[in-house]
Chains A and B, each alone.
Chain A
Amino acid sequence: MSMINAMPLAQARALYRPDADIGPPPELADPLALLNAFHPDYVSSSVAKLAVGANAGDNCQRELAELLQAEAIIDEADLAGAPVTDTDVLIIGGGGAGCAAALAAAERGARVLLVTKLRLGDSNTVMAEGGIQVAIEPDDSIQRHIEDTLRGGHDIGNPALVAAMAEDGPDVIRWLIHEGMQFEQEPSGDLCTRRAGGMSAARIVHCRDYTGLEMMRVLREAVIQHRSIEVWEQSPAVELLSNEIGQKCVGAVFKSLADGRFRMVRTHSVILATGGLGRLHLNGFPTSNHLGATGDGLVLAYRMGARLRDLDSFQYHPTGLVYPPHLSGKLVTEGVRAAGAQMLNAAGQRFIDELLPRDIVSAAILRECQEGRGIRVDDGRVGVWLDTPRLERSQPGLLERQFPKLLARARVSGIDPRLDPLLIHPTLHYQNGGVVIDVNGATTVPGLYAVGEVAGGIHGRNRIMGNALLDIISFGRRAGVAATSQRDRGPKKVTLEHVNRARRELTLAGIPLTHEAPQILPDYAAKGIWNR
C-alpha cells in the first residue's frame, strides 16, 4: 500500500468542506467487473489450491493455505509427562459460541471443561455492536429469514443449516433473556427491531450499541457461576488428540501462556468454538477482530481430517478506521452509512452508492485508493473520507444519540467526527466459510463438533448483518446438547496418529515442513516487532 500515489492527509483535510456541493455517486455499470478487479477474494494471486487433506484440489486463500498445510507445533515427545484431565465435554474457545455450548451441555448434566486462549470473554462476540437477527415482527416470517440469508450468501449456503438457525431464532432470544440478557423495548414492551442491508423486514434486535458486550458479559457470568463448568484461561489449544487409528477426536493438548507447559484433556466430545481469523491480516489487510482471532480452529480441524468449505471467501467490511493509528482497522458500524453518511475520495467526490452490498462498496474504496484518489497518512496507509460532519449538519445530534461508542473512541485521540470526516479503508472482518457441519454442529470427524465463526455453510459467501450472533447461540446450544448424548465410555488411548498421517501426506506432496501452525498470536504481539 505504501507505494501508492495519494494526497497527503493535511492537504486533503484543508480541501474538505462539509457544505461542498456534491451530487449523486456515478452509476455502477458492471459490479462483477469491479469485484473481479479489486475485491481480494477475486484477485487470483490471493488464491491457492490445497494439495493435501480433505479439501485437496479446492481453492483457498493463499496465506490460510500455508497454515492448513503446515507442520504441527508438537510431537509425542512434548506429551511425555504432560498431566491428563478427563471430562465429559471439552469446549475450546470462550466466546459466545463456546459459552452457549458449555451452558447447554451443563444443563444436560454433563461435566464441562471450557478452555480458552486469553481471558474468558475475550472474543469477537464482545465487540459486536449492531445486533442479532430474529423474525418476530408480524410482517416477517421464519421463511423470509431463511430466504434472505440464502440470497445474501449468494445462494450457496446449506439450506438445512439456515432453516435450523432461523427456526431457532425466537427460542434463542427467549433463552438469552432467561440467562439475563437485556434488549431494547418499545413502550408497548415489544422488542425494538431495525432493518439492515439484505433484509426484507425489520429483524435486528439489540441492546443499544452494545449488543455483543451485553451478550458476552451475561454468558461469561453464567459460565463462571455454573457449578458443573470448569474454565481454564490463558491456555490455547495447540493440537487435537485422536484414537489409535487417527479416525476419531478424543481430546486436545493445551499450552499455557503463563508457563509454557502442556496439558492434555481426554473426552468423548470436543466442541471447537475458536472463532475467526482476522488477526492473520490476510492479503495485508487491517482487521476489526480481537487479538486471538488467528484461525487456529481451522488448522486443528483440518489436520484431524475434517472437511472445510468456502476457504476463499472473507468479508472485508468497508469502513475500518485508518486514523487514529491505534484504532487502525477498528470498525465504524454500517449503521453510520445506513443513517445517511456518504463517502468521498481525496478530490471530495462520491464514487459509489454507499448502501450497496459490503463486498461491492469495499471494492470501490480499494479502487479509489489504488488509482491514486485516496488520502495518505504519514506511515503510508491510505483511505477515503466517511463524511460524518455532513451527516451531523443534516441531522444535528444524531451521532451523539445513536453512536456514542464511536464518539467516545474518537475522543480519546482528540478527534470529533461531528467536525472531522473519518478516514476509512476496508478491514478484514469475518470468515464466511469454515468447518463443514450438520444441524448439530457435528463435523465430518466423529467426536468433533464446530460452532460459531469457525464453522461454515450458513452464510454462503457473504454474511448479512446480525446473523453471526444468532448462529453462535443456535449452533452452540445444538452442539452442547448433541455432545452430551454420546454414550460410549470415552477413549482408552489418546494419540497423535492424525498428526503423523498429516506429516506423511505433506512429505509425499513435497511440501517442506518449515512452518508450524496454529499461529496462536500474531507475530507483533508474540515477538516484539510492533512498529509504527
Chain B
Amino acid sequence: MTNDSDNSQTINLTINGVAVAASAAMTLVEAAWHGGVPRVTAVSCLESVCGSCRVLLRRGKEVTVNLACQTFVEEGIEAVFLPPQVPPLHHYEIGDFTDGWNIQARFHEIFPEASHCRNCHGCVRSCPKGIDVEGAIALAAAGHFRDAGEAFLECVMCELCDSACPELIAPAHVGLFCRRITAHFHLRPPNLIYRLEEQRKEKAGLAAGESHYTISPFVKGGSR
C-alpha cells in the first residue's frame, strides 16, 4: 500500500475549458466535481466498466482519448468530456435470423463497411481497454464471429472506436453482433435444456394456471 500523504499537492488543469485546481490522485471525474465544472453528466459507474465518461485529452500537441474515471489529473492537461456517439446506422433484430447458414451474408448486408477497413489503427489507439479492435474486425469480415467476439470480452461500450473509425464501420457494434450471434446460434447447454424440458412436461400435466411448486414450511430463523 502506498502512502497518500502527497494528495494535498495542487495540480492545475482545465476541464471543458474551466480551470480547475485539483489535488493529486484525483481522477478527472473527481476533479470536475471538485472544480464545479457544469453539466458533467456523462458519468456513472466510476470504475471504468460502463463506458460513459469519454474524454479527449490534450497534452501539448498530443491528443488522446480515454475514460475520465480511470484517468488521473496531470499538470497542464486539457480534458474535454465528449458527447455521446451518435446511434449506429446499422439495424438488425436478433429474431430476424432464423438460418445460421447465411449469417455471413447477413453480416455483410448489415455491416457493409466492415470489409473496407483501411488498417489505420484509429480504433486500437482509442480503445481504453486495450482491445485489438482492428484485428477483430478482420476476423469478423472473414466470418470468424466467435473469435472476433471473444476479443471484445472486456469491451465497455464506450464507442470511442466508433468515433475514431473513418470508414464508419461501427466496430463496437460489429463486436456485439459477433458475440450475440455466437451465443444465439451455438450456446445450447445440456443441463439448462434438461431442466427446461422437465418444466415443460410438468406444466403439461397441470391444469392451466396451477403452480407445481409448494411453499413448504421452511426452517424458521435458520439464517441467523
Contact = CB atoms under 8 A, between A and B. Distances in A.
Interface in B22-46: 23, 25-27, 30, 33-37, 39-46
Contact of B183 (A118, A180, A224): A180
Contacts of A414: 2
Nearest to B211: A163
Nearest to B34: A530
B215 A123 contact: no
Interface residues of A, number: 96
A377 B196 contact: no
Nearest to A528: B36
B138 interface: no
B70 to A, nearest CB: 6
A530 B33 contact: yes
Interface string A143-180: 10011001111110001000100110011011001111
Nearest to B29: A326
B2 A415 contact: yes
A167 B224 contact: no
Contacts of B41: 118, 234, 257, 521, 525
Interface in A111-140: 118-119, 121-123, 126-127, 134-138
Contacts of A146: 213, 215
Interface stretch (A188-196, A308-316, A466-474, A483-491): A188-196
A226 B183 CA distance: 18
B61 interface: no
Residue of B42, B179, B180, B194 with most partner-chain A CB within 10 A: B180
B221 A189 contact: no
Contacts of B42: 118-119
Contacts of B176: 180, 217-218, 221
Interface string B56-93: 00000000000001101000000000001001100111
Given A127-B45, A326-B25, A220 B157 contact: yes
Q: Mostly helix, strand, loop or mixed at chain A's interface?
A: loop
Interface in A372-401: 377-378
Given A136-B195, A225-B92, A210 B154 contact: yes
Interface stretch (B98-106, B111-119, B160-168, B184-192): B184-192
B173 A221 contact: yes
Contacts of B189: 136, 183, 185, 189-191
Interface string B171-214: 00100100111111001111110111001000000000001111
Contact of A181 (B183, B212, B214, B215): B183
A340 interface: no
A213 B179 contact: no
Residue of A189, A213, A225, A257 with most partner-chain B CB within 10 A: A225
A190 B218 CA distance: 30
Given A155-B221, A185-B189, A222-B94, A290 B45 contact: yes
A119 B34 CA distance: 22
Contacts of A421: 1
A181 to B, nearest CB: 6
Contacts of A213: 49, 156
B9 interface: no
A156 B14 CA distance: 53
A218 B190 contact: no
Interface of B: 1-5, 7, 23, 25-27, 30, 33-37, 39-52, 69-70, 72, 84, 87-88, 91-95, 149, 153-157, 173, 176, 179-184, 187-192, 194-196, 199, 211-216, 218-224
Given A118-B43, A138-B191, A143-B213, 16 more contacts: A122-B44, A122-B45, A147-B216, A154-B224, A170-B195, A198-B223, A225-B92, A326-B30, A330-B46, A357-B223, A357-B224, A378-B7, A462-B223, A525-B40, A525-B43, A532-B34
14 contacts: A119-B50, A121-B52, A150-B218, A154-B224, A155-B218, A163-B211, A177-B187, A189-B190, A208-B153, A218-B179, A218-B180, A258-B39, A326-B30, A377-B4
Interface of A: 9-10, 13, 31-32, 107, 118-119, 121-123, 126-127, 134-138, 142-143, 146-147, 150-155, 159, 163, 166-167, 170-171, 173-174, 177-183, 185, 188-191, 193, 198, 208, 210, 213, 217-218, 220-222, 224-227, 233-234, 257-258, 290-292, 323-327, 330, 357, 377-378, 409, 412-415, 420-421, 423, 462, 521, 524-525, 527-532
Q: A-B pairs with the 3 shortest C-beta distances? A: A180-B180, A528-B36, A122-B44
